[in-house]
Amino acid sequence: MINVTKTYLPNIEKYKQYIDEIYANGWITNNGPLVQRLEQRLAEYLGVKNIVLVANGTVALELAYRALGLKGFVITSPFSFVATTSSLVTNGLLPIFADIDPNTLNINPENIEASITPNTSAILGVHVFGNACKVEKIAQIAQQHNLKVIYDAAHAFDVRYKDQSILNYGDISTLSFHATKLFHTIEGGALIINDDELVQKTRYLINFGIENAESIPELGTNAKMNEFEAAMGLCVLDDIEEIKQKRKVVFDTYIKDLQGLIQFQELNEQATQNYSYFPVVLKSEEQLKRVENALHKEQIFPRRYFYPSLDTLNYIEPKQEMPISRNIAKRILCLPLYPELTSEEQNTIIKIIKNTLTEFKQ
């Protein structure tokens, strides 16, 4: 069976050494030494000033809204994983969608300005499949209207834009370190925060709002990463260059073999790639289902991702209709991409897709 992704498991002996360390010192959570070590190494590796590790990418988004004190409406992309939108709703914020660019699959800055009202407090962009947003244009709009900018960078680990980390753009960027991600800590996430004062506040927020034994200055939650997760992160980080290199081989092969036959995501030319996903846009939902069925027959499971478009969620009021996002969501498929995917397996996938596209042209 071939799935869209496969969790990378590092060398078990190396992981065991960290577990021995945890057992020896008895410190298993609450900002332990491994969490601190991973924060330091990640800050260095990614080229960011402040990174706060947390329990997952969803809570990272929620903490970003709380750290920045967002209120009212937040303009965001309807084409993302559900957590981008649901995290707003669970925090009493109303998502106002701005439709996407059908080629880059990112929020189209041209659609942002028309949606701004006096109740808007922020723009929440998503670097979809690791493809860098038009960050300068978004910054300009935000500045003009005095809005905060958050990037859901769950897919954008180690993406660089104009020679610096894409995570440095906006007030806060958030990452997901879920097991399916390029870099993972089993479950986990992070906030990259530009303002030093907000870092301190966020550290209180992830630990119930507590500053010390006598002071609880913030309304906090429990969003701490534990030592077993940090240990996994330290092991995966050791292997990250090799992981990326192997993913690049798979990514480049899809490009080479499917070029001209199927629509790819238009990539930001001034940004690097991290080879997290390989999305393809079919001509119609019918064609997508044919491809999907043909692959399923061979026990190959791509993923309809993202589907459905988030403007169709039943709990979003008022109803908003985003035709471009809806249209893309019906036709997009993420193909299997992970370091251990063999060239034979990939050739089978490519052959099935090519055959199906020849049979079903529309």
Ligand X SMILES: Cc1ncc(COP(=O)(O)O)c(C=O)c1O
Binding site for ligand X (CB under 6 A): 56-58, 80-81, 83-84, 126, 152, 154-155, 176, 178, 189
Nearest to 169 by CA among 186, 193, 197: 193
> In terms of CB distance, is 186 or 198 closer to ligand X?
186
CB of 178 to ligand X, least distance (A): 4
- Closest separation in Å from C-beta 16 to ligand X: 25
Complex with ligand X: residue 130 or 220, whichever CB lies closer: 130
Q: Which of 351, 324, 284, 327 is nearest to 108 (CA)?
A: 324
Angle between helices 196-205 and 57-67 (to 10 degrees): 120
We find the least distance from the C-beta atom of residue 66 to ligand X, in angstroms, to be 16
**Rounded Cα–Cα distance for residues 346 and 193 (Å):** 39
Name the token pair of 183. Answer: 């870099």
Rounded CA-CA distance 249/32 in Å is 37
In the bound state with ligand X, the residue whose beta carbon lies nearer, of 80 and 265, is 80
Cβ closest to ligand X, residue 35 vs residue 357:
35
- Distance between terminal CA atoms of the chain? 28
The minimum distance between CB 9 and ligand X, in angstroms, equals 18
Bridge partner list, 172:
150, 193
Q: Is 264 exposed, middle or buried (0-12, 13-18, 19+ CB in 10 A)?
A: middle
Q: Which is nearer to ligand X, 188 or 220 (CB)?
A: 188
Query: Is residue 275 a contact partner of residue 244, using CB atoms and an 8 Å limit?
Result: yes
Minimum distance, C-beta of residue 188 to ligand X, in the bound complex (Å): 7
The radius of gyration of the chain from alpha carbons, rounded to an integer in Å, stands at 21
Q: Which of 163, 240, 224 is closest to 190 using CA atoms?
A: 224
Quick one: 108 or 176, whose CB is closer to ligand X? Answer: 176
Which residue number, 80 or 356, has a Cβ lying nearer to ligand X? 80
Residue of this chain nearest to ligand X (CB atom): 57
We find the least distance from the C-beta atom of residue 276 to ligand X, in angstroms, to be: 9
The three-class DSSP label of residue 276 is coil
- The burial class, CB within 10 Å (0-12 / 13-18 / 19+), for 13 is exposed
179 φ/ψ angles, rounded to the nearest 5 degrees = -50, -25
- Least distance from C-beta 33 to ligand X, angstroms? 23
